[in-house]
């Protein structure tokens, strides 16, 4: 099988109404060459907003921002109440001291496990399989890649952002805690 198709091969596949996978290739050139004035502007902008991008995530819960995560459950389904996995009391105390978890009297309980990260901190993994079964499934269309790439037409500067501990940056709605 060839990686490249000839015009007649493509036509015969299309006439036979068979499936055809087409890959398009465009050359992309990367450069690190920017005008020094541009680099100075970016640097001054970053300096101006250093408080927005701290090295460490602030202790405790984030401020209320008008957005709260809500978990909608299928009506009349029994609420799961699973026993907790065994944990090391030291690990539990450490994560409670970070104010990310607290004791709860909620009728719903799902087990968690703490996994050590390379830097010595803990990553909390929640076993949500049981609660996922009774959660209302919302469907949001995923944008098509070609539409997203079309929006980038004529763009010359691309950046990326990585939210540090983004999972911990949104409040849970009071009744869903």
pLDDT tens profile 28-69: 555 666 677 777 887 887 788 777 666 776 677 777 778 788
8 Å CB contact between 170 and 62? yes
In a domain? residue 83: yes
The H or E element that residue 113 is part of is strand 112-116
The CA angle 73-65-50, to the nearest 5 degrees, is 135
In a domain? residue 2: no
Binned at pLDDT 50, 70 and 90, residue 1 comes out as very low
Average pLDDT, the chain: 76
> Domain span at residue 94?
7-176
- pTM here is 0.48
Number of independent structural domains in the chain: 1
In a domain? residue 1: no
Binned at pLDDT 50, 70 and 90, residue 23 comes out as low
In a domain? residue 91: yes
* pLDDT above 50: residue 143: yes
d(CA 114, CA 98): 14
In a domain? residue 89: yes
* pLDDT above 80: residue 177: no
Determine what percent of the chain is predicted with pLDDT higher than 70. 75
In a domain? residue 137: yes
Binned at pLDDT 50, 70 and 90, residue 105 comes out as confident
d(CA 100, CA 20): 50
């Amino acid at each position: 099988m060839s990686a490249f198709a000839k015009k007649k091969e493509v036509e015969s596949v299309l006439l036979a109404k068979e499936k055809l996978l087409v890959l398009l290739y465009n050359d992309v050139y990367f450069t690190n060459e920017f005008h020094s004035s541009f680099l100075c502007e970016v640097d001054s902008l970053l300096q101006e907003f250093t408080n927005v991008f701290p090295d460490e995530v602030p202790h405790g819960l984030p401020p209320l921002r008008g957005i709260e995560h809500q978990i909608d459950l299928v009506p009349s389904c029994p609420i799961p109440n699973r026993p907790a996995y065994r944990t090391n009391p030291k690990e539990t105390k450490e994560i409670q001291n970070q104010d990310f978890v607290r004791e709860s009297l909620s009728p719903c309980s799902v087990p968690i496990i703490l996994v050590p990260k390379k830097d010595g901190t803990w990553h909390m993994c929640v076993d949500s399989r049981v609660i996922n079964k009774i959660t209302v499934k919302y469907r949001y269309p995923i944008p098509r890649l070609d539409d997203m790439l079309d929006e980038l037409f004529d763009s010359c500067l691309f950046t990326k952002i990585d939210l540090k501990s983004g999972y911990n940056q949104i409040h849970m709605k009071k009744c869903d805690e």
